[in-house]
A and B are shown apart, each in its own frame.
Chain A
Amino acid sequence: MPRRTDVHRILVIGSGPIVIGQACEFDYSGTQACTVLRREGYHVSLVNPNPATIMTDPEFADATYLEPLTPESMLAVIERERPDAILPTMGGQTGLNVAVELAESGELDRLGVRLIGASLEAIHRAEDRSGFHRSMVGAGLPVPRSGTARTVEEATRVAASIGYPVIVRPSFMLGGGGSGFATEPASLAELAARSLAASPATEVLVEESLAGWKEFELEVMRDGADNAVVICSIENVDPMGVHTGDSITVAPQQTLTDREYQDMRDAALACIRAIGVETGGSNIQFAVNPQDGRRVLIEMNPRVSRSSALASKATGFPIAKVAALLAVGYRLDEIANDITGKTPAAFEPTLDYVVVKVPRFAFEKFPETDPALTSTMKSVGEVMAIGRTFKEALGKAWRSLERSGYDLGPVAGGSAEPVLSSLAVPAERRLHLVEAALAAGHSVDEIAGASGIDPWFVDQIGQVVEETLALHGRALGSISDVELREAKRVGLSDARIASLTGSTELGVRRRRDELAVAPVFKTVDTCAGEFPAVTPYHYSTYEEEDEVRPASRPRVVILGAGPNRIGQGIEFDYACVHAAYALRDAGFEAVMVNSNPETVSTDYDTSDRLYFEPVSAEDVLAVCRTERPLGVIVQLGGQTPLKLAHVLDAEGFTVLGTRPEAIDLAEDRGKFAALCAELGIPAPPHGEARDLGEARAVAARIGYPVVVRPSYVLGGRAMEIVYGEDELERFVRTAAEASPDHPVLIDRFLEGAIEVDVDAVADGADVFVGAVMEHIEEAGVHSGDSSCAIPPPTLSDEELDEVERITAVLARRLQVLGLMNLQLAVKDERIWVLEANPRASRTVPFVSKVTGVPLAKAATMVLVGRTLAELTAEGLIPSDRAHYRRLPYTSVKAAVLPFGRFPGADTVLGPEMRSTGEVMGVDREPGTALAKALVASGAALPRNGTVFVSVSNRDKRAILFPAKRLADMGFRLLATKGTAGVLRRAGIDVTKVDKVSEGTPSVIDMIEEGRVDLVINTPFGRGPRTDGYHIRTAAWQAGIPCVTTLPGVLAAIRGIEALRDGPTEPRSLQEYHELARAPSPVQGVLDLRADAEVATT
């Protein structure tokens, strides 16, 4: 069947910002889809407001819109682009939801646009719970037994027919209140009574409990001729009850017999047919009772998913690319498998290795929340590892996580805690508890019983534990080659072997060298070796035969960023991918090393050679020894590869770019302060303290307010702003606890300063500034959590000149080669340097997208020896060094925060970064750009309604003007006593409401009842007991936007004004870049500072 000819123009929907549950796997799938559809000759339009994605680079679509994924803005794009079809299955749940809304509104029919890949009916059948249930029962597929009841007697009857244990849930209630488990009739009666009382409809759902069942997923593809294949089976190590995104998972499945697996396969194919997914991939989830093998189908996703990205990386079968081809009419047997070049996509991949995925959590950022793993996903990233055995893959996965002490194998000495009872509540450390329990002598069956983890997996870990016990306390020199090889074959890291033998990682590496114990590299080929692979996609393993083929061109190794986490995410992958493209173009072989399955960098198509490996010293060195590269790029993947600069240098590999010593100079705050003094660059006064007395003295010397932080931590961990001596004690103690062996760092806090970010490329002589970004929130909010704008709205040309001069001076002094990010503050007509990072930053993709200048590519070319002068002459970077200052449009970046996943977390923005992703808004009208960014970030700004205002004493004067503007626009204002008094005295109409502590109905009640549309709350202090904390968390739970900084308030007002003015016509990024090349007058300035000044005069 040839490709469809009734479709010429296709709109692809992206997934928007990185949030928990929806990360860069959708950049991977969208990028594949756009690429392959354009290659097939289609005109591709794309909507995705996430600037950090590869897919939104201008060369991946014909027209790229960084617009919010709302039906209104989508419709504006559709009216303009007039596609024949929309591909809704590449953008996660977000993309699917917005496509459904558009289709249901009838607008798509009106405009003659159809959905390809999945029809509206199929999406409904898969997503609607009762419809799904009916479809599955109709197809003869077992689903969990359930029934509804309106009385306790009825509930008892239903439970008896289902069989205990059961879950009881009140109907029509969100949030899980009043639900619970019952194991016998008495507890059921009690639970049902409570649950019926909680239900607004006096109805409960009684469902069979699947707790402790095994969970499996199958990735299925179907073409338009009804051919269907299974691409990958995935088994969850965690039992049912832990969200699959938070589960440790294994591919292929390990514990089903062939007969059971084939039955499950048949059920999956029956499911995709019953739902009616015409073409493309679906993810189908099953639960299996380990006692009797009963299997039920629990869920299906009719789209590309997180699991399908994992399955693609695990098998080498590019699901998204094939799904896009199927959507335009190809059949599975017509699409060639890129990896073998011989077999068609109708071959089901077969694996001769084991893949393990482990999630990465960030609970330390949200200390107020419960770290138990539940059916709500909480992990912020994941790693994948490939090994020849489960043990080997698990060991590699643990070290990919970069959690010190988390390497495979129990820590010597064992654990005193009652591990079996701890295992009953699944938590991040659960497999380490399994290790501890085994080391303490518990049996495999005891542990499997306590944890619900299949005994096969427990026994595999048991083999690791036996190996570590055999090595513990031995002298490294006494360990033979056979023993050392066996230790490596069960997945123990050099670091773990070092801790077991009282040695060092370097010592173990040297011992391995002496004994010639080294890994080989094997190939991911989709066919278990049956056919030769043409794509060099490798993993390391302690086996006999190495399959890496000699290269024809010089190699450059790019080290990726490892798992996504807060502070290091997709932005760094973006830079790595660009480096790979640039190196290929320049005639090198780009060699990628990374462990993150969600990324574009780990697509075998991105680089010339892909090593799916932990970005840790031992694994990276093994790749370098095999590849013998010209050099290694460590500056693009964030802190993870940067940390490896020294060891690479010491082992004789060339680190391309800034020297490791210069990196140290910039990273060490003491040395850096001295450097600034030497160069005559203002930096905030700085001091270090080892106890509270010293801290008091330092603070007194440099003056309050001060920033207190521990040494050697990242992402603003445990960092606080302290306004007086009374607060100092508590924060110094917290900081000292976060990094006990090092001094607490104390800096003067520049209150009310404008914060500025700079991304630049230097070649040792010359410096190119990509852009200066001006933050909207004042200094003190972590740069990753604050919004920022290009062009910088309020900085004068003189100030920008000075910022650029400081950038150049520092770049030269540090001998920066490649990228550098600088953070500065402007206050009292002075410019202060806060931080210099000689590496790629989070903002590189934003700057590149806004200015059209490919910063990461330029940096890569510099790393392989080109000069900025040459790149300017070639037109890669503009000769006008002020290019970013007078762009005829405004771009605003806004952060996306995950508080919804962490009930109880305080939502105040501060020095500790907590955002997971970002969006941008771009428009010729600055207020509209801002509004778009806010809307895209999920802040549902009200056009009218009620605003609750409660600000700290510091902000009381400054809130007058914004409050008046809101009142003038017709908003009803509510305020607590203090704020209300201030507003009234200024003649602003306001209604006083009670604080929580003052009585009912309090403001909390009003928020919960949906009587407030916007909350403005600038905090007087943080912590779980303040009124402000209760107000903010209530707002988040009610889904009401809550602004916690004054500039944020001004921004929100500009956004609301723009929304009330109505939509502007969207433009594509390609059009904006055209405008940038032929500048026209700026339409206005996003001058919130002016707004603030009006406010205080």
Chain B
Amino acid sequence: MPVGPAALLALEDGTVFRGRGFGATGEAFGEAVFNTAMSGYQEVLTDPSYAGQVVAMTSPHQGNYGTNRDDAESARVRVAGFAVREASRRTSSWRSERTLGEELADAGVVGIEGIDTRRLTLRLREAGSMRCGVSTEDLDPQSLVRRTRGTPGMEGADLARTVTVAEPYEAGSLVGPSARARVPAARVAAYDFGLKRNILRLLAAAGCEVTVFPAGTPATRILADGFDGVFLSNGPGDPAATTYGVAAATGLLGKVPVFGICLGHQLLGLALDGRTYKMKFGHRGANQPVRDLVTGRVEVTRG
């Protein structure tokens, strides 16, 4: 029984959803995407890859276990807006610190609940990713659709610059010391294009000592420090517009082992003269199987 203010979500194709606002009041515009993970909304909210996007969760109940300081993937909420079937007014978890609504309100991010998120998902699946507007202020559907159409899209957007860190730092200060703190398995430089903290945790667990660098760091700076390897992180935006990232990858390739995840992986492709194009819609969730063609083993991954 949503009790928040009336709210609208409009897609650029003219589809409009009526719901109730939660979190911050106001307006948000961005690219509408859906995520099929059944748990992990806090990780989604704070994942910098979602910068500039209005994320709809396909799983209907969100906020059940609240939010806490340990599960954030970055320093703050990154999504532009959040759309759910039902935001939990009551949280239940021994780790819960705040409700989902409080988390969004503090971050100034608009949420909408009570909408048919499955209808929204099928719309995006059929028509592809679309621009979207969420508002608790402009309740005129035609007006909100018109204003949504006036916003810039994701193509050509360089967003990594907006979510990266200002200064280099040691990952250990954030996620604790590496599993082999005395004699690290490797010293790794991580480019932060929108880095998720869990990646740092996993690198630490693998015994790596990681230093995180801002997205715009030139390759020469990394090479000068004599790292054993370089990691290019995930992040938001159009890889082709992330030109400094491509330049860094080009400068590093052949000189030091380099690996990337998500945007970082796409940047590597571009550096090797590949081309990127936008998929009709992204596969975001927690159930994607990937087969290792060498061993034949299948691992379930998160997209």
Chain A positions near chain B (C-beta within 8 angstroms): 225-227, 229, 233, 252-259, 261, 290-293, 331-333, 344, 346-354, 388-390, 444, 454-456, 459, 463, 466-467, 486, 490, 522, 527-532, 543-545, 547
The answer to whether B92 and A293 have CB atoms under 8 Å apart is no
List residues of B (8-49) whose CB comes within 8 Å of A's CBs: 17, 34, 36-40, 42-43
Q: How far is the CA of A961 from the CA of B121 in the complex (A)?
A: 76
Chain B residue nearest to A547 in the complex (CB): B122
Shortest A783–chain B CB gap in Å is 46
Shortest B113–chain A CB gap in Å is 11
**Which chain B positions have C-beta within 8 A of A459?**
88-90, 92
Since A459-B89, A543-B116 are in contact, a sample of 19 more A-B pairs with Cβ atoms closer than 8 Å, ordered by chain A residue number, is A227-B297, A256-B93, A258-B37, A258-B71, A261-B39, A344-B289, A347-B288, A350-B37, A350-B58, A352-B58, A388-B60, A389-B60, A389-B85, A456-B65, A459-B90, A490-B1, A530-B34, A530-B285, A545-B119
Shortest B114–chain A CB gap in Å is 9
Shortest B11–chain A CB gap in Å is 14
Contact of B121 among A259, A291, A332, A352 (CB under 8 A): A352
The answer to whether B59 and A456 have CB atoms under 8 Å apart is no
Shortest A1020–chain B CB gap in Å is 57
Query: 20 pairs across A/B with beta carbons < 8 Å?
Result: A229-B289, A233-B38, A252-B38, A253-B39, A256-B39, A257-B95, A346-B291, A349-B287, A350-B285, A352-B58, A352-B121, A389-B85, A390-B61, A455-B92, A522-B118, A527-B36, A528-B121, A529-B34, A530-B36, A543-B118
Is B64 engaged at the interface, CB distance under 8 Å to the other chain? yes
Of the candidates B61, B70, B119, the one having the most CB atoms from chain A within 10 angstroms of its own CB is: B61
The answer to whether A350 and B38 have CB atoms under 8 Å apart is yes
Q: How far is the CA of A986 from the CA of B262 in the complex (A)?
A: 93
**Which chain A positions have C-beta within 8 A of B88?**
456, 459
**Which chain A positions have C-beta within 8 A of B92?**
255, 290, 454-456, 459
Is B181 engaged at the interface, CB distance under 8 Å to the other chain? no
The answer to whether B122 and A529 have CB atoms under 8 Å apart is yes
Is B294 engaged at the interface, CB distance under 8 Å to the other chain? no
Q: How far is the CA of A346 from the CA of B291 in the complex (A)?
A: 10
Is B243 engaged at the interface, CB distance under 8 Å to the other chain? no
Q: How far is the CA of A255 from the CA of B65 in the complex (A)?
A: 6
The answer to whether A388 and B85 have CB atoms under 8 Å apart is yes
Contact of B297 among A225, A390, A444, A528 (CB under 8 A): A225
The answer to whether B121 and A544 have CB atoms under 8 Å apart is no
Q: How far is the CA of A252 from the CA of B90 in the complex (A)?
A: 18
The answer to whether B296 and A225 have CB atoms under 8 Å apart is yes
The answer to whether B93 and A255 have CB atoms under 8 Å apart is yes
Instruction: Flag B69-106 by CB within 8 Å of A: 1 or 0 each.
Output: 01100000000000001101111111100000000000
Looking at chain B's contact residues, the main secondary structure is loop
Chain B positions near chain A (C-beta within 8 angstroms): 1, 17, 34, 36-40, 42-43, 58-61, 64-65, 68, 70-71, 85-86, 88-95, 116-119, 121-122, 125, 283, 285-289, 291, 296-298, 300
The answer to whether B300 and A257 have CB atoms under 8 Å apart is no
Q: How far is the CA of A855 from the CA of B43 in the complex (A)?
A: 57
**Which chain A positions have C-beta within 8 A of B64?**
254-255, 456
Given contacts A257-B93, A333-B289, A455-B90, contact A543 B119 (CB under 8 A): yes
Shortest A899–chain B CB gap in Å is 40
Q: How far is the CA of A669 from the CA of B86 in the complex (A)?
A: 51
Shortest B283–chain A CB gap in Å is 7
**Which chain A positions have C-beta within 8 A of B86?**
389
The answer to whether B119 and A350 have CB atoms under 8 Å apart is no
The answer to whether A348 and B287 have CB atoms under 8 Å apart is yes
Given contacts A229-B289, A350-B287, A456-B64, contact A528 B90 (CB under 8 A): no
* CB-based A-B contact count at 8 angstroms: 150
The answer to whether B40 and A258 have CB atoms under 8 Å apart is yes
**Which chain B positions have C-beta within 8 A of A259?**
70-71
Q: How far is the CA of A388 from the CA of B121 in the complex (A)?
A: 14
Q: How far is the CA of A531 from the CA of B124 in the complex (A)?
A: 11
Contact of A529 among B1, B42, B125, B286 (CB under 8 A): B125
Given contacts A225-B297, A389-B60, A467-B1, contact A257 B119 (CB under 8 A): no
The answer to whether A530 and B283 have CB atoms under 8 Å apart is yes
**Which chain A positions have C-beta within 8 A of B117?**
352
Q: How far is the CA of A553 from the CA of B235 in the complex (A)?
A: 50
The answer to whether A347 and B38 have CB atoms under 8 Å apart is no
Chain B residue nearest to A392 in the complex (CB): B60
Q: How far is the CA of A530 from the CA of B57 in the complex (A)?
A: 12
Given contacts A229-B300, A456-B88, contact A293 B36 (CB under 8 A): no
Chain B residue nearest to A348 in the complex (CB): B287
Of the candidates A257, A291, A349, A389, the one having the most CB atoms from chain B within 10 angstroms of its own CB is: A257
Shortest A588–chain B CB gap in Å is 29
Q: How far is the CA of A259 from the CA of B17 in the complex (A)?
A: 32
Q: How far is the CA of A293 from the CA of B94 in the complex (A)?
A: 7
**Which chain A positions have C-beta within 8 A of B95?**
257, 293
**Which chain B positions have C-beta within 8 A of A444?**
90
Shortest A467–chain B CB gap in Å is 6
Shortest B258–chain A CB gap in Å is 28
Shortest B267–chain A CB gap in Å is 26
Of the candidates B65, B71, B287, the one having the most CB atoms from chain A within 10 angstroms of its own CB is: B287
**Which chain A positions have C-beta within 8 A of B122?**
529, 545, 547
The answer to whether B39 and A528 have CB atoms under 8 Å apart is no
**Which chain A positions have C-beta within 8 A of B300?**
229, 346, 348
Please give me the 5 A-B residue pairs with the lowest Cβ-Cβ distance, nearest first. A258-B40, A459-B90, A528-B58, A456-B92, A346-B289
Q: How far is the CA of A144 from the CA of B91 in the complex (A)?
A: 27
Chain A residue nearest to B283 in the complex (CB): A530
The answer to whether B89 and A256 have CB atoms under 8 Å apart is no
**Which chain A positions have C-beta within 8 A of B1?**
463, 466-467, 486, 490
**Which chain B positions have C-beta within 8 A of A256?**
39, 65, 93
Chain B residue nearest to A251 in the complex (CB): B38
The answer to whether A226 and B297 have CB atoms under 8 Å apart is yes
**Which chain B positions have C-beta within 8 A of A532?**
125
Q: How far is the CA of A229 from the CA of B287 in the complex (A)?
A: 9
Q: How far is the CA of A333 from the CA of B296 in the complex (A)?
A: 10
The answer to whether A529 and B94 have CB atoms under 8 Å apart is no
The answer to whether A456 and B91 have CB atoms under 8 Å apart is yes
Given contacts A456-B64, A463-B1, contact A529 B121 (CB under 8 A): yes
**Which chain B positions have C-beta within 8 A of A351?**
38, 59
Q: How far is the CA of A1028 from the CA of B242 in the complex (A)?
A: 87
**Which chain A positions have C-beta within 8 A of B94?**
290-293
The answer to whether B60 and A354 have CB atoms under 8 Å apart is yes
**Which chain B positions have C-beta within 8 A of A291?**
94
Q: How far is the CA of A44 from the CA of B23 in the complex (A)?
A: 59
Chain B residue nearest to A529 in the complex (CB): B121
Shortest A1057–chain B CB gap in Å is 58
Q: How far is the CA of A344 from the CA of B288 in the complex (A)?
A: 10
The answer to whether A545 and B291 have CB atoms under 8 Å apart is no
Chain B residue nearest to A345 in the complex (CB): B289
Shortest B196–chain A CB gap in Å is 13
Chain B residue nearest to A223 in the complex (CB): B298
Contact of B59 among A292, A352, A466 (CB under 8 A): A352
**Which chain B positions have C-beta within 8 A of A456?**
64-65, 88, 90-92
Shortest A1070–chain B CB gap in Å is 40
Q: How far is the CA of A354 from the CA of B85 in the complex (A)?
A: 12
**Which chain A positions have C-beta within 8 A of B296?**
225, 331
**Which chain A positions have C-beta within 8 A of B58?**
350, 352, 528-530
Chain A residue nearest to B119 in the complex (CB): A545
**Which chain B positions have C-beta within 8 A of A490?**
1
Shortest A893–chain B CB gap in Å is 45
Contact of B36 among A290, A352, A466, A545 (CB under 8 A): A352
Shortest B299–chain A CB gap in Å is 8
Contact of B60 among A261, A346, A352 (CB under 8 A): A352
Q: How far is the CA of A545 from the CA of B85 in the complex (A)?
A: 14
Shortest B49–chain A CB gap in Å is 16
**Which chain A positions have C-beta within 8 A of B118?**
352, 388, 522, 528-529, 543, 545
The answer to whether A528 and B93 have CB atoms under 8 Å apart is no
